[in-house]
Chain A
Amino acid sequence: MFLFRPILYLQKNKYMQKITNFFLLGIVVLSTISCSKDKVGVYNAEISNITDNIIIATYTDLDNKADLLLTAVEALKDGGATESELTAAKEAWRATRAPWEASEGFLFGPVADNEIDPNIDTWPLDSIGVETILSGSDVINKAYIDALTGDAGTGLKGFHAIEYFLWGTDGNRTAASFTARELDYLVATAESLKGKTAELINAWISTGGDFGAQLKDNSSRYPTEKDVLVELAEGIRGIAGEVFDTKIQNTLDGIDNNGGDVAAGIREEESRFSNNTKSDFTNNIQSISNVYLGIYGTGGNGKGLSDVVASNDAVLDATIKAQIVEAIEAIQNIGGSTSVTYSTALGSDRASIELAQTKVSNLETTIRTQLIPLINGL
């Protein structure tokens, strides 16, 4: 055991410094050759595919869909709102929601650093604040919404504000019921959303902030491939935990086998106005699938975290794949069929929600207790 010994750094002369540097250099070289566990280049293909064809592809999709959503609500505003325009806007909202929820398996980097998430997905909606604005006389446009909400986070804009306008609190919104100020607000907040999704994708692409390079190339954030793989694995663990332990659990608190306060559970539901909650959760688990399998829709070359696992522990790889499928199936089967809403199931079929919760929890447990230790041990 080498004992700590005081070293007189401040009295070192230049000659000694050169000797020191020489030997320190030698140590660095030796460390790199013989001691390093950094598998430089071993998982380049997986990291590149996940970065470019999963993460950047998801954000590209999100930004494109947000653009279509803006177009749809502008159509609703222009020349009198019609039912078909309202229906189209609702579909555009769901279409935008899907890639956003499918991005929650990788909530690191610009989406967090630049406060994109709190700018577009703050929950709950501050409906009191929204109604106060609507009953006032200020001109409502994007600049107004952005300034009003200050830094970020106030529940006055984003997905849930748009949802509130398009569906109303009871899901029975009609095109004829929109006031001019509501339409102004709706377009302004959709514009704000689109601005943030553009900022997000721009932060990742090579012609913009190029955050993707921090994953793929040497960077101070992620000095080794292992650092990236841990980030990715912890990211999918995080959303699995969020779904079963927060998003689902919050709706179940206070509800038991005898019923309980179902209304309180519904109030805790993420996308309750649009009844999109099951889709939200499905897409959350889909984001795990995408990162794990290296496939995004028809894109991606299939190089994902699965490759890293399979070469070390084929049984674990098969377990994770099966548990992803089981979790998605259980979520879609909440209430007994895909057509039953989450709100309805809270009152009628709590067991199906608990089953889905268990399936997601099982997946989280496997990721936490087996996948992450495996990657940390690379």
Chain B
Amino acid sequence: MKNVIYFIGICLMVACSKDSIENDASEEFPGGATTYNSIFSGSYEQPASNLNANELAQHASGDKLFSNSFVANPSTVNPGLGPIFNNVSCVLCHPKNGKSPQPFSGSDLRGLLFRVSIPRADESQGPMPVPGLGTQFQHRAIVGTTSEGQVQISFQETTHTFADGSTYSLRKPIYTLTSTTATIPANMMVSPRIAQQVIGLGLLEAIPESVILAKQDINDADNDGISGKANRVFNPILGVFELGRFGWKANNATLLVQATDAIHQDMGVTSFVFPQETAYGQVQDDGLADDPELDSLDAIDLAFYTQSLAVPKRRDFNSSSTNNGKQIFFNIGCNKCHTQKYTTGNNTAFAFLNNQTFYPYTDLLLHDMGPDLADGRPDYLATGTEWRTPPLWGIGLSELVNGHTNYLHDGRARNLLEAIMWHGGEAEAQKIKVSQLSKKDREDLVKFVGSL
């Protein structure tokens, strides 16, 4: 131990070099050649650095759609909003392509929405819609239409202690949904989800399915306490069940489905993938024969935008404290779910994604995260306690990009350390190890995660 520290010290003294300690130089560029080099508030909004002119033009078209504020029909510009919706543009839920802060009031939910369903015998077929509400609670509506209802938020705060005696507290939000247009069934299941940052998604889509499936360990055959299960979700474009990769529960198969699902459920804009209004059959139905509202090429451009966004360069990726944190991250076993590194071959959907080495820190698999984080709402193969491992790249720029450090599926963690300490279930052992670290090591671990 002593020798190691001496050696690090000597290396720094002698060389001032980034090469003298144990990081691969490519780790500074987590998105490979797509990586954007400036670190600033717009770091999540940059086109991949290796796009050609045609790809840049398509990216710009998608960018416009992502920024568009939609308005009620009939309008000559950006029509299609509602009749019921959660927000009016992609960027309002994904501010600067990042995340909005945890809301405190149901009248200002920003990027937070609620998936709802009622139990069914075979949840692997997907969530069963709630009569009068569907599978998502749209709390807003166009002028003259009544929304599906309101949300109230309260909090429960609990205090916990690290092994070194210092304390931390976790604040759990409690949500109450009410509706005047539908009767909320007693067995309704509610899943709060905050819109995620949208960087690097093309690379995640390009990971070969076999690589993801190879990491499954559904019955924990290796006895490390961590299973890992792929979701299988319905792809309405192909009409088949496929590996789920995107969304908090890996509940969407592709970025085209993800984008059209979001614009449909969140804004009420119909497309060739989801041609029927979310209010269909409900009292809010507009009865207009104007679907699909989004042009098919626009839908593809919108998906392309999310496929072609850069990942920002890492900040402070090679300091001694960052490297200490990195070693702790791996020693504790965080990387068992937050898989560090992937490479793509030469046959991905887009040339700019080919032959890239990248560092998302996710396995895209579902893991039981314990009862405290559970939403209790199954989503295809994901149980009520399972969540998909979220990627960690870019996570430390949240304050710079969005002015807050709220994390997890509903933004409940007020900083990265709280996010770690919310872990349970399969990650219970890792959480306990973190709680036993010295203050300095805890800080270094957080610093490393924040540097990604």
The answer to whether A and B assemble together is yes
- Report how far A108 CA is from B39 CA in the complex, Å: 13
Interface positions of A from 1 to 44, Cβ below 8 Å from B:
1-10, 12, 16-17, 19-21, 23-24, 26-28, 30-31, 34-35
Residues of A within 8 A of B75 (CB): 124, 126-128
| B42 contacts A108, C-beta separation under 8 Å | yes
Identify which of B152-160, B361-369, B432-440 touches chain A: B432-440
Q: Is A246's beta carbon under 8 Å from chain B?
A: yes
Q: Is A154's beta carbon under 8 Å from chain B?
A: yes
Q: Is B69's beta carbon under 8 Å from chain A?
A: yes
| B69 contacts A108, C-beta separation under 8 Å | no
Identify which of B89-97, B287-295, B352-360 touches chain A: B89-97
- Nearest CB of chain B from residue A291's CB, rounded to whole Å: 14
| B13 contacts A30, C-beta separation under 8 Å | yes
Identify which of A68-76, A92-100, A115-123, A348-356 touches chain B: A115-123
Residues of A within 8 A of B67 (CB): 246
| A109 contacts B331, C-beta separation under 8 Å | no
Residue from B1, B16, B110, B433 in contact with A34 in the complex, judged by beta carbons closer than 8 Å: B16
CB nearest to B405 among chain A residues: A220
Residue from B11, B40, B64, B78 in contact with A231 in the complex, judged by beta carbons closer than 8 Å: B40
CB nearest to A264 among chain B residues: B76
- Nearest CB of chain B from residue A15's CB, rounded to whole Å: 10
Residues of B within 8 A of A220 (CB): 399
Residue from A1, A123, A155, A372 in contact with B19 in the complex, judged by beta carbons closer than 8 Å: A1
Residues of B within 8 A of A4 (CB): 22, 327
- Report how far A245 CA is from B61 CA in the complex, Å: 10
Q: Is A250's beta carbon under 8 Å from chain B?
A: yes
- Report how far A118 CA is from B399 CA in the complex, Å: 20
| B12 contacts A150, C-beta separation under 8 Å | no
- Report how far A320 CA is from B107 CA in the complex, Å: 45
Q: Assuming the A-B contacts A7-B327, A26-B9, A230-B40, are A129 and B20 also in contact, with contact meaning beta carbons closer than 8 angstroms in the complex?
A: no
Interface size, chain A (Cβ < 8 Å): 70
Q: Is B130's beta carbon under 8 Å from chain A?
A: no
Q: Is A227's beta carbon under 8 Å from chain B?
A: yes
- Nearest CB of chain A from residue B120's CB, rounded to whole Å: 32
Q: Is A132's beta carbon under 8 Å from chain B?
A: yes
Interface size, chain B (Cβ < 8 Å): 68
- Report how far A126 CA is from B40 CA in the complex, Å: 33
| B38 contacts A230, C-beta separation under 8 Å | yes
| A12 contacts B7, C-beta separation under 8 Å | no
- Nearest CB of chain B from residue A242's CB, rounded to whole Å: 10
Q: Assuming the A-B contacts A7-B331, A124-B71, A153-B92, are A234 and B77 also in contact, with contact meaning beta carbons closer than 8 angstroms in the complex?
A: no
Interface positions of A from 124 to 158, Cβ below 8 Å from B:
124-129, 132-133, 136, 147-148, 150-156
- Report how far A10 CA is from B9 CA in the complex, Å: 21
Residue from A112, A128, A154 in contact with B41 in the complex, judged by beta carbons closer than 8 Å: A112
Residue from B37, B78, B438 in contact with A376 in the complex, judged by beta carbons closer than 8 Å: B37
- Nearest CB of chain B from residue A278's CB, rounded to whole Å: 20
Q: Assuming the A-B contacts A113-B402, A151-B87, A231-B40, are A17 and B438 also in contact, with contact meaning beta carbons closer than 8 angstroms in the complex?
A: yes
Q: Is B144's beta carbon under 8 Å from chain A?
A: yes
Residue from A27, A113, A155 in contact with B69 in the complex, judged by beta carbons closer than 8 Å: A155
- Report how far A3 CA is from B3 CA in the complex, Å: 13
Interface positions of A from 224 to 253, Cβ below 8 Å from B:
227, 230-231, 234-235, 238, 245-246, 249-250
Q: Mark B323-348, 1 if CB is under 8 A from A, else 0.
A: 01001100100000000000000000
- Nearest CB of chain B from residue A8's CB, rounded to whole Å: 7
Residue from A21, A23, A133, A372 in contact with B9 in the complex, judged by beta carbons closer than 8 Å: A23
Q: Assuming the A-B contacts A2-B7, A19-B2, A238-B42, are A24 and B320 also in contact, with contact meaning beta carbons closer than 8 angstroms in the complex?
A: yes
Q: Assuming the A-B contacts A1-B19, A23-B9, are A8 and B69 also in contact, with contact meaning beta carbons closer than 8 angstroms in the complex?
A: no
Residues of B within 8 A of A126 (CB): 71-72, 75, 81, 143
Q: Is B416's beta carbon under 8 Å from chain A?
A: no
Q: Mark B30-71, 1 if CB is under 8 A from A, else 0.
A: 000000011111100000000000000000100110010101
Q: Is A163's beta carbon under 8 Å from chain B?
A: no
Q: Assuming the A-B contacts A128-B75, A234-B38, are A113 and B92 also in contact, with contact meaning beta carbons closer than 8 angstroms in the complex?
A: no
Residue from A12, A129, A153 in contact with B143 in the complex, judged by beta carbons closer than 8 Å: A129
- Report how far A245 CA is from B67 CA in the complex, Å: 13
| A21 contacts B440, C-beta separation under 8 Å | yes
Q: Is A268's beta carbon under 8 Å from chain B?
A: yes
CB nearest to B16 among chain A residues: A35
Residue from A112, A154, A246 in contact with B95 in the complex, judged by beta carbons closer than 8 Å: A112
Residue from A28, A155, A221 in contact with B71 in the complex, judged by beta carbons closer than 8 Å: A155
Residues of A within 8 A of B81 (CB): 126
| B37 contacts A7, C-beta separation under 8 Å | no
Q: Assuming the A-B contacts A17-B438, A35-B16, are A24 and B5 also in contact, with contact meaning beta carbons closer than 8 angstroms in the complex?
A: yes
Q: Is B74's beta carbon under 8 Å from chain A?
A: yes
Interface positions of B from 79 to 122, Cβ below 8 Å from A:
81, 87-89, 92, 95-96, 107-110
CB nearest to A228 among chain B residues: B40
Residues of A within 8 A of B108 (CB): 150-151
Q: Is B184's beta carbon under 8 Å from chain A?
A: no
| B92 contacts A118, C-beta separation under 8 Å | yes
- Report how far A109 CA is from B401 CA in the complex, Å: 8
- Report how far A217 CA is from B6 CA in the complex, Å: 34
| A115 contacts B402, C-beta separation under 8 Å | no
Q: Which of A153, A246, A249 has the most CB of B within 10 A?
A: A153
Residues of A within 8 A of B402 (CB): 112-113
| B1 contacts A7, C-beta separation under 8 Å | yes
Q: Is B73's beta carbon under 8 Å from chain A?
A: yes
CB nearest to A222 among chain B residues: B400
Residues of A within 8 A of B92 (CB): 115, 118, 151-153
CB-CB nearest 6 A-B residue pairs = A113-B403, A129-B143, A126-B71, A108-B41, A4-B22, A35-B16
List B residues at the A interface (Cβ < 8 Å): 1-2, 4-9, 11-13, 16, 19-22, 37-42, 60, 63-64, 67, 69, 71-78, 81, 87-89, 92, 95-96, 107-110, 140, 142-144, 319-321, 324, 327-328, 331, 399-400, 402-404, 433, 436-438, 440-441
Can you list 29 contacts pairing A with B, beta carbon distance less than 8 Å?
A2-B8, A6-B327, A8-B331, A9-B328, A10-B433, A20-B1, A20-B5, A24-B5, A27-B9, A30-B13, A31-B12, A31-B319, A109-B41, A113-B402, A113-B404, A115-B110, A118-B69, A118-B92, A122-B69, A124-B71, A124-B77, A129-B143, A147-B107, A151-B108, A230-B38, A230-B40, A246-B67, A267-B76, A268-B77
